[in-house]
Structure 1
Amino acid sequence: MDLHQWFEKGMDPDTYIDSMQENKENLLHIYDHFTPREDKDFIQELTAKNLRVIVLTEDWCGDAMLNIPILLHMTERANIPVRLLLRDQNLELMDQYLTNGKSRSIPIFIFIDEDGNEAAKWGPRAEKIQQFVDESRENLPSKDDENYKEKAKEMYLFMSKSFRDHTDFWQEVYTSIQSVLKNALNL
C-alpha cells in the first residue's frame, strides 16, 4: 500500500477518540486546555501545502495522549485532514517508521502531500519530553530487581500525570512539530 491508501484506511479523529478506553479523559483534557500560540504566517504557509496526516498510535500510549491533541489543534487551524491507524493492527506501515531503526515507538505523524508522498515525519517525542522520560527512567531499578514492575508502573503513572498537567510540555510538543514542518517544507 502507498501512503495515500494508508491515509484512506485510517479513522477520523472523532472515531478514534470515541473508541478510546484508557487515555480518553486525559487526551480530551489536554485538547480542551491547550491554546496554541498565535502564528498566522506559519499556519497560512502550512495550509497552502495541502497536506494530510497519518497518525500511528494506540490508546494506551501516554506519548500519544500528549501529542495527538496538540497535533489536532495545529491541523484544525491549517485545515489539514488527519487519519489515525492503530499501530498493532498496521505493523507493515509501522515497521517503515521505526525509531532508531528498531523500536515501534508511537505516535508517529506522517505528513503527506497531494500525491501521497511523504513530506515530513514527526515522532514519537519532542526533544525536551525525551529528556524528561530519560531522567524518569534513570530512577528505575534494574529489570531483574523484584521491585522493577511496581516501580515502572509508578513511573508511567507519574509521567502520564505530568503530560496531562504540565502545560509547558504541551508548548514543547507544538514547537517541536512546528520546527520539523518548517525544516521539511521550507516554511
Structure 2
Amino acid sequence: MNNMPDPEIKLPPEQDRGEVVLAAGCFWCVEAVFQALAGVEDVTSGYAGGDADTANYQAVCTGRTGHAEVIRVRYDPAVVSFGTLLKVFFAVAHDPTQLNRQGNDLGPQYRSAVFVADDEQRRVAQAYIEQLDRSGVFGAPIATKLEPLKAFHEAEAYHQDFAINNPSQPYVCMVAQPKLDKLARQFPGHLAGD
C-alpha cells in the first residue's frame, strides 16, 4: 500500500504525550510491528475497553468483556511522530476495514480501535480516518473506532515480546512475519537500527 498518504493533520511534538494504545487484532503480531520502529521505546501487550476484573486472557477470549487485545506504545515524539505511528497502524499492522475481526480471529476483542487518551489524539486520529476514507486507498470504509482510554491492563507475562521469544511459532510465522516484511518495504528508514 505504497499510496498510503501521510496524515494531513499533525500532532505537534510538544502536545504529544509519547504514548498511544492501539487495537488491531491479536496483540502478538501488532506488538512485533511496533517494536521494529525507530523511536519506539516500549511496547506492552494488554487489554482495554472493559473492567479490571475481566482483564485476563481467558475472559477476553470469550468476546463478552468489552476488552480488546491492545498494545501500549511508548515512544519519543522527537524521533517518531504520532502521525507515523497511525500510518503504520493503518498501512501495516492490520486491515482497518474489517469489523470485529482480523483474518481468522473473530470477535470484538479483535476490533480495530485507537484508544485515545486526550482531545489532541482524538482530533488527529479522527482527521486521518476521514482523510483515508476520502482517499479511497482501502476500497472499503474504515471500521476503526476511536474509544476513550479509561484504563490499560497489562497482559500476562507470556504474551509480552511473544514474536521475539517465539519466532518459529506457526501463528507468528504466518501472521507477524509478513507484517514485518511489509513494514520493511513500506517504511525504510523508520526501522530500529536503520
TM-score normalised by the chain length of structure 1? 0.31
**Comparing both structures, which one devotes a greater share of its residues to helix?**
1
**Comparing both structures, which one devotes a greater share of its residues to strand?**
2
Larger radius of gyration: 1
